[in-house]
Structure 1
Amino acid sequence: MNLPSKRVGWIVDAQNDFMRPPEQGGRLYVHNLFDGGQDPGAVQITPALVRATEWMRTHCDALVYTGDWHDVSDAEIDLVAPDAAKGTYPPHCMGLSADAHEREGAEIIAEIRPANPLILHRDASDTDATGVARRAVSERRPVFLHKSRFSVFEGNPAADTFVRALREQLGGTIEIYVIGVARDVCVKGAVEGMLAQERGIPVTVVTDATWGLGLEGENESYARWLRAGAALVTTHGLYARTSSAFRDLAVAPAKT
């Protein structure tokens, strides 16, 4: 007898430095870098992030936040000539900084910040990961997974062990619901990492709760993810999935 899949909410990098415009302190605000400043940016999706997170807290069996947690020596940090097209950026989400203001940029935005999360540090061991997964399920607590690189599977050596242990603790197969930023960098790393053959985890992307940097068109990203087996849904579709009259409303939003 096949057990039903367990839902895992996966919130990618919804951190102050990414989600707050510069005038509000964001050091690497997620917006289209190539449109001459016309894109209002990721602040637009805050209401959708709130709606999706509320759904996850009610309907998911586990909730995972990921976040860049940088030191100035990290490969993607370039103090002199950062170039997004080459995968380097100015300092952001400096969770390992000695400066309290810089560290605040790495925190999850207040609107969806988890209370009392378990932390899986960016240099965690497999033993750490197994213990965090066990506690997350038994204590019903969210996890904040720190990473040093775009992809969670490259930026935290214990990420794979954590995902496997979470699946084991939940007692069956899992399906991942993904929201966050940036769609064409860290969300891409999470989605494509989950879908990769070696993991083969079903993924649903909540399209109106993501935003990108313009490195790749959203329709191009969505088409590739669909070909790889992902599903797309809006926040409205999420709530429809758990209503008494379920209807599949999996549609992509208008281009941004």
Structure 2
Amino acid sequence: MTANTGRIGWIVDAQNDFMLPADRGGRLYVHDLFDDGRDPGAQQIVPALVHTVEWMRANCDVLVYTGDWHAYGDAEIDPQSPDATRGTYPPHCMGLSDDADEREGAQIIPEIRPENPVVLARDATADDAESVVRTAVSEKRPIFIHKKVFSVFEGNAATDPLLHALRDHFGALDVVMIGVARDVCVKGALEGFLERGQPVTLVTDATWGLGLEPEAEALARWMNDGAALITTRGLDLRAAQTPQKG
């Protein structure tokens, strides 16, 4: 990483509804949908998420959280006959709901929740994105991108302008990514970055999936397409070789 590179910690959809099992209130808990209930699911990566976010806070210039921020009527919300293989799901992460309990499901889990984030609303404009970046950088605050579909690039039209604004400020970007679900929203973000020629490092033990694609196949494809793969242990080694952000 050169002096003209900004390191961005990118945390995908680590929200209550995805990260908490149903008996703890999660409405769409991320676990393998096809293993007859044997997969303990995303709760087991919480320590890795915590470890990586701590690393990001010490070593990244900006942290960007993303999250589904749904309303009834969104294309992927199907209360009657949801089918993950067709890209539809029961109500989850209902950030625009009138119901406080539903809205709570859209919040980032407490263990890594951003403090006083600058929000890029899901209907934000390019001007909004530039303002969000200026505020986040000048006030050293995290960014929280709200989105209405899986891919952050499709779910919030201001994501591309936000990346442009980050590049205008820092120069090149070095994106380090974690989160859920690996085969849905992480996939949309990571592949979107690669399609835009943006290098991404995925922390593999800080992700979890729904079993829609074997993990090994997805990781091999992404590495072939230019992504870098690392573990939390690898991050610790990288930190030892890189000055921490002030």
Partner of 2:144: 144
Q: Which runs of 5+ in 2 are unaligned?
A: none
1:124 partner letter: A
Tell me if structure 2 keeps the 8 A contact 1:77–1:88.
Answer: yes
Displacement, 1:70?
Answer: 0.1
Q: What is the identity percentage for the equivalent residue pairs of Structure 1 and Structure 2?
A: 65
**Cα distance in 1, alignment partners of residues 125 and 237 from structure 2:** 39
Partner of 1:208: 205
Partner of 1:230: 227
Which runs of structure 1 show a deviation greater than 6 angstroms over 4 or more consecutive aligned residues?
A: none
TM-score between the two structures when normalised by the length of structure 2: 0.96
**Cα distance in 2, alignment partners of residues 28 and 244 from structure 1:** 39
2:191 partner letter: E
Residue pairs, 1:1-256, within 5 angstroms: 3-170=3-170, 172-196=171-195, 199-244=196-241
Partner of 1:250: none
Give the number of equivalent residue pairs: 242
The C-alpha deviation readout for 1:195-237, integer Å capped at 9, x for no partner, is 00xx211100000000000000111110110011000000110
The C-alpha deviation readout for 1:90-140, integer Å capped at 9, x for no partner, is 000000000000000000000000100000000001110110011111111
Displacement, 1:3?
Answer: 4.0
Task: For residue 242 of structure 1, give the secondary structure of its aligned residue in structure 2.
Answer: helix
Partner of 1:254: none
1:128 partner letter: D
The C-alpha deviation readout for 1:27-51, integer Å capped at 9, x for no partner, is 0000000000000000000000000
Q: Which runs of 5+ in 1 are unaligned?
A: 247-256
TM-score between the two structures when normalised by the length of structure 1: 0.93
1:186 partner letter: C
The C-alpha deviation readout for 1:48-78, integer Å capped at 9, x for no partner, is 0000000000000110000000001000000
Displacement, 1:4?
Answer: 4.2
Structure with the greater relative contact order (CA < 8 A, sep ≥ 6): 1 or 2? 2
